Structure 1
Amino acid sequence: MASVKGKPRRRLSSDIPPNMSRETPLRMLVFGNCDQVSLTQSVLGQDVFTGDEVNISATKKSSGFVQERNITLVNTPNLQNNDLPDSILHKEFRKAVCFSCPGPHAMVFVVDPFHLTSDTMDILKPMVHYFGERVLKHTLIVLYHERGMKTLSIEDVVKKNKSFRELAEKCSQNYIFYNEEINRTESSQTKTLLDKVDEMVSEHGMFSNMEFKDAEKRIQIEERFIRKSKEKEIRGTLKALENQHSGEALASEILKYEEKIQLECREKAELVVADKLGFTVRVVDYAVAMGKGAFVGAFLGFAVGYEGMAVGAAVGAGLGAVFGGAANAAWSYIYKSFTDAH
């Protein structure tokens, strides 16, 4: 897991996982401690946070072009130093879902290699609680530091740490060391990070679940509404470009404008849906609390009125006794129920 030594080689198209293309933005959802801000800025090679945002308390999306790749890093609130209520934390997680749709290629867990304790594992718990145990195989532990020490000597110390061994086992031994001091001069640490994420994507694909899929559908619908509302503005701008340019220059300007509009519509749609998203999450909680069968019956009954809810719940409860109830299965029941009722 040591960092790559020497001058980093040029990234080749063959390095990209077969289920991705060079045009596909590499999406990473970053969480952990205050070092997640430093890691984000190191990877992107630019200051995307202000001094007041070091102890990040709100989800933020940052993008850049790094080593011939489009990279998007979505930072959740600092889970180590922010004691946020569950309602606020879940709202920020929903924003992170929208900002990383249709799903992150990796969950990047930033930790301090010199302060690994049992509390380090606690930072991971809110993510697992919200996204489920399956998220662990998509989680990459990044041991970030800015000290002028050889990576191998740090590895020797860290590997003897019981808390780290337990954490690494949870995350399928997916971890790297990231030395910011080295990265400032040769960017080899960023390359190691991207290579490791590509390796994980080749093995497991990107992370997704029903919430990501639901959010992506909503975002695409919202994008179309936003673009439609901009039709007059778009026509005016295109006409102005046609008056100012011609030939290849015109084609180039139109392409740049189209990319700009597409990005603006996407980002606005993500924000709109992030504020609305959460219905699916809440109904799953209700389904588990009521019992899957009773909930589905009530949910379907809602389509025909209050009495239908009562009858549906009673019938559904009987079905629930036969089929059993579980949080994971609730997703498919709710999604199908919502579709049928609609």
Structure 2
Amino acid sequence: MATVKEKTRRRDSLDSPPNMSSETPLRMLIFGSSSDVQISTSQSILGQDVFSRFEVNILATKKSSGVVQERKTTLINTPNLQDNRGLPDRIVQRELRKAVCCSCPGPHAVLLILDALHLTADTTDILKPVVHYFGEQVLKHILIVLYQKKNRRALSIEDEVKRNKSFREIAEKCGHNYLFFNEEMNQTHEGSQTQALFTKIDEMVSEHGVYSNMEFKDADKRIQIEERFIRKSMEKQIRQTMEMLEKKHSGEALVREMKNYEDKIQIECREKAELAVADKIGFTLRVVDYAVAVGKGAFVGALLGFAVGNEGMAIGAAIGAGLGGVLGGAVNAAWSYISSSFPDALRDST
């Protein structure tokens, strides 16, 4: 059993608060045994149509946000790898890069949504790509959600699931973090299932912190830089809109309208930055030579700092080692990154 000291050290290493309040926005990264359970559970949690009726197969990462039980909630649905086994690896990596960026600085929980009525022998296979792309540490942050659409035979279903060999295997790998989620009950009992989900996630965050690794940390830093560039390019538009609001409103109405506009701009800049950075990060941390990568990272960081000007110089050295890890341990990979980054940096500095 882990000691209190060990638990504290683990949380500190993730730069995460030990506890969460209802004010903390929730970020959930979602994988599923089928597109159908992902779609149904996501829409039940947010209480709105996240997907259109024509979207029956999740092929791309999709970020959806809303306020649920007075709590800001963001769901990041990844492509369903069970339904789309033939997806080329480059497409999978591209979409999972988006998932990383959309859930920065890291998800509070990774939801693994399974159909409680259809647990098959290959159910455990769904864990393989998750661990492959996000590392073994992600297992501590996975919450298995056993989805049921109708509220029937609830007790017998739970007993049956717990006897299922595949489920027992996957539950053991994930530290037995699981809960049953009944869509019909969630609707008729005012979000009771969603509340139970939030409570379980809060408990997991209190225990293990927010999930993060070098990829998330590097992506988050780069997203913040990209956000500033995007906002700077929109300065004229923002100023004109603010002036228009000042002419149309006054007093409390003006304060409210300006805050709403500022929130809108913030979200827009963030989402554009996430997509821009998603094209530049990679899943290479678990296969690089860190000693070599850190050395090259310092060189790459310095060059990037030079490319983007004084602001970039200030952070180039600071994040160089992290960039080196993400870029891999190869000179070719580093040079490829520099080549693709220089045009963007020069564009933004003009």
With the length of structure 1 as denominator, give the TM-score of the two structures.
0.79
Residue type of the partner of 2:209? Answer: G
**Residue in 1 that maps onto 2:255:** 251
Q: Which SS does the other structure have where 1:199 is aligned?
A: helix
**Residue in 1 that maps onto 2:9:** none
Contact 1:57 / 1:77 at 8 angstroms: preserved in 2? yes
Map residues 94-243 of structure 1 onto 2, 5 A cutoff: 94-186=97-189, 187-243=191-247
Displacement of 1:245 in angstroms is 1.3
Contact 2:294 / 2:322 at 8 angstroms: preserved in 1? no
**Residue in 2 that maps onto 1:8:** none
Q: Which SS does the other structure have where 2:42 is aligned?
A: helix
Deviates more, 1:148-157 or 1:97-106: 148-157
Contact 2:297 / 2:323 at 8 angstroms: preserved in 1? no
CA distance in structure 2 between the aligned counterparts of 1:89 and 1:112, rounded to whole angstroms = 23
Displacement of 1:67 in angstroms is 0.6
Contact 2:139 / 2:173 at 8 angstroms: preserved in 1? yes
Q: 1:335 to 1:131 in 2, by over 3 A?
A: closer
**Residue in 2 that maps onto 1:41:** 43
2:30 pairs with 1:30: yes
Match of 1:61 among 60, 63, 88: 63
Identity of aligned residues (%): 63
CA distance in structure 1 between the aligned counterparts of 2:299 and 2:68, rounded to whole angstroms = 52
Displacement of 1:296 in angstroms is 6.0
Displacement of 1:190 in angstroms is 1.1
**Residue in 2 that maps onto 1:7:** none
CA distance in structure 2 between the aligned counterparts of 1:303 and 1:153, rounded to whole angstroms = 58
Deviations 1:232-274 (A, max 9, x none): 1111111111111112111111111111111111111111111
CA distance in structure 1 between the aligned counterparts of 2:299 and 2:233, rounded to whole angstroms = 36
CA distance in structure 2 between the aligned counterparts of 1:150 and 1:337, rounded to whole angstroms = 51
Q: 1:157 to 1:303 in 2, by over 3 A?
A: closer
Contact 1:296 / 1:333 at 8 angstroms: preserved in 2? yes
CA distance in structure 2 between the aligned counterparts of 1:250 and 1:302, rounded to whole angstroms = 46
CA distance in structure 1 between the aligned counterparts of 2:253 and 2:295, rounded to whole angstroms = 60
Q: 1:114 to 1:294 in 2, by over 3 A?
A: same
Q: Which SS does the other structure have where 2:54 is aligned?
A: helix
Displacement of 1:36 in angstroms is 0.6
Displacement of 1:102 in angstroms is 0.4
Q: Which SS does the other structure have where 1:52 is aligned?
A: coil
Residue type of the partner of 2:235? Answer: E
**Residue in 2 that maps onto 1:325:** none
The runs of 5 or more residues in structure 2 that have no matched partner are: 1-16, 303-320, 339-350
**Residue in 2 that maps onto 1:12:** none
CA distance in structure 2 between the aligned counterparts of 1:209 and 1:56, rounded to whole angstroms = 26
**Residue in 2 that maps onto 1:72:** 74
Match of 1:261 among 254, 265, 276: 265
CA distance in structure 2 between the aligned counterparts of 1:81 and 1:145, rounded to whole angstroms = 19
Q: Which SS does the other structure have where 1:53 is aligned?
A: coil
Q: Which SS does the other structure have where 1:27 is aligned?
A: strand
CA distance in structure 1 between the aligned counterparts of 2:328 and 2:149, rounded to whole angstroms = 52
Deviations 1:202-244 (A, max 9, x none): 1111100000000000100000001001111111111111111
Number of aligned residues: 293
The runs of 5 or more residues in structure 1 that have no matched partner are: 1-16, 305-329
Contact 1:219 / 1:269 at 8 angstroms: preserved in 2? yes
CA distance in structure 1 between the aligned counterparts of 2:132 and 2:285, rounded to whole angstroms = 16
Runs of 4+, deviation exceeding 4 Å: 292-304, 330-333, 335-338
Residue type of the partner of 2:279? Answer: D
Contact 1:113 / 1:143 at 8 angstroms: preserved in 2? yes
**Residue in 2 that maps onto 1:315:** none
Q: 1:331 to 1:245 in 2, by over 3 A?
A: closer
Residue type of the partner of 2:148? Answer: H
Residue type of the partner of 1:217? Answer: K
CA distance in structure 2 between the aligned counterparts of 1:26 and 1:299, rounded to whole angstroms = 32
Q: 1:300 to 1:81 in 2, by over 3 A?
A: same
Q: 1:264 to 1:247 in 2, by over 3 A?
A: same
CA distance in structure 2 between the aligned counterparts of 1:161 and 1:266, rounded to whole angstroms = 43
Map residues 314-325 of structure 1 onto 2, 5 A cutoff: none
Q: Which SS does the other structure have where 1:208 is aligned?
A: coil
